Amino acid sequence: MNALQQLRSWPVTRAAAAVVSAAGVIAGHGDLDEPFLLASVTKPLTALATLVAVEEGALGLDVALGETGLVDASVAAQLPGATLRHLLAHASGIAPDKPIRAASAGTRRIYSNAGYDLIGTMVEAATEMPFAQYLSEALFAPLAMSAAELRGSPAKDAWAGVSDLAGLLAHLLDPAGLLHASSLQAATTVQFPGLSGVLPGFGRQEHNDWGLGFEIRDHKQPHWTGARNSPATYGHFGRSGTMVWLDPAAGLALVALSDRPFDEWAANAWPALSDSVLDEFGR
């Protein structure tokens, strides 16, 4: 049985999913073109577009926020020593939902919507265009993500269909043209190693590893991916009932979108689906 048939038993009204290789979708379930609210799966999209801006020279990854001229001085003063790299990796010390200091930069992994909203503000100032427009021009258009759209916060308000995200995942499995290899390496490997913090929905992790926009699976336990996923797996999930991961060791990626918010059902269903996908399609 196709592993994706598990979605038929999920306690949701609508769901769609795809297994992806570098060549594209190799198995699908549901309407792959229907847009879903991505919630925090927005963050890796925001991060990739921001890295495009960095490569264009509009922003610097390692410039202190107060020296960029792109951040309100009162906010920058709350985050001494923090940089764009810290913000992208949830290591700036900014609080979860307010642009205030909760820790010193580089000392804790604090998952922050406020940090990603600040990133959007910085990109807007640097590029002199609304962040939603920049995201569309820098990421959605080049990858033909035709249904993808940002309708608010750079942290949580993107909409997209499975086919949109499958195209992105296929590109990440065989990258060419969007970003330099060094930028993708930074996005998908651990930044500021060894930081502890809370993985939303799964509790405190002694090594709560993140790249730039992507969560790194490493050896986290419990986790929303499967036991068969390699430590190098990276991805993100959203509170709206959405998740994506890419496992370089398997050469596979998975996207699953639904209309039921994350709770215990997803914490159980997503690892089971991930293991079944790797059993069926992994190399």
pTM for the structure as a whole: 0.97
Q: Are 59 and 46 in contact (CB under 8 A)?
A: no
pLDDT above 70 coverage of the chain, percent: 100
Mean pLDDT of the chain: 97
- Rounded CA gap, 40 and 23, in Å? 26
The mean pLDDT of 126-134, rounded to a whole number, is 98
Taken as a whole, the chain contains a residue count of 283
Does the pLDDT value for residue 99 go beyond 70?
yes
Q: Which two tokens stand for residue 4?
A: 């994706």
Cα(219)–Cα(274) distance, rounded to whole angstroms?
16
Residue type, 241: G
pLDDT digits (tens, 9 = 90+) for 177-199: 899 999 999 999 999 999 999 99
Question: Tens digits of per-residue pLDDT, 43-90?
Answer: 999 999 999 999 999 999 999 999 999 999 999 999 999 999 999 999
Smallest CA-to-CA distance from 143 within 281, 17, 20 is with: 20
CB 273 within 8 Å of CB 228: no
Q: What is the pLDDT of residue 74?
A: 95
In the three-class reduction of DSSP (H, G, I as helix; E, B as strand; rest coil), residue 144 is classed as: coil
Q: What is the mean pLDDT of residues 28-41?
A: 98
The CATH number that domain 3-281 falls under is 3.40.710.10
Which three-class secondary structure state does DSSP give residue 238? Answer: strand
User: Is residue 34 pLDDT above 80, yes or no?
Assistant: yes
**How do the domains of the chain map onto residue ranges?**
3-281
For CA atoms 147, 148, 153, 155, the dihedral sign is positive
Helix axes 181-188 and 42-55, enclosed angle (nearest 10): 150
Question: Would you state the pLDDT for residue 177?
Answer: 83
What is the pLDDT at residue 1? 59
Q: What is the pLDDT of residues 142-156, one digit of tens each?
A: 999 999 999 999 999
pLDDT for the residue 270: 98
Query: Which pLDDT does position 176 carry in this prediction?
Result: 83
- Cα–Cα distance for residue pair 101/156, rounded to 1 Å: 21
pLDDT for 39 beyond 90: yes
For residues 200 and 220, the answer to whether their CB atoms sit within 8 Å is no
What does the pLDDT look like over 249-283, one tens digit per residue? 999 999 999 999 999 999 999 999 999 999 999 87
Answer whether residue 207 shows pLDDT above 80. Answer: yes
Percent of the chain scoring above 90 in pLDDT = 97
149: number of CA atoms within 13 Å, CB side?
7
d(CA 251, CA 242): 21
Residue 157 in this model has a pLDDT that exceeds 90 = yes
Mean pLDDT (whole number) for 121-138:
98
Question: Is the Cα torsion angle 250, 207, 225, 33 positive or negative in sign?
Answer: negative
- Report the pLDDT value the prediction gives residue 65, as an integer from 0 to 100: 97
The number of angstroms, rounded, from the C-alpha of 27 to the middle of its chain's C-alpha atoms is 22
Candidates 192, 226, 224, 230; CA nearest to 210 is: 192
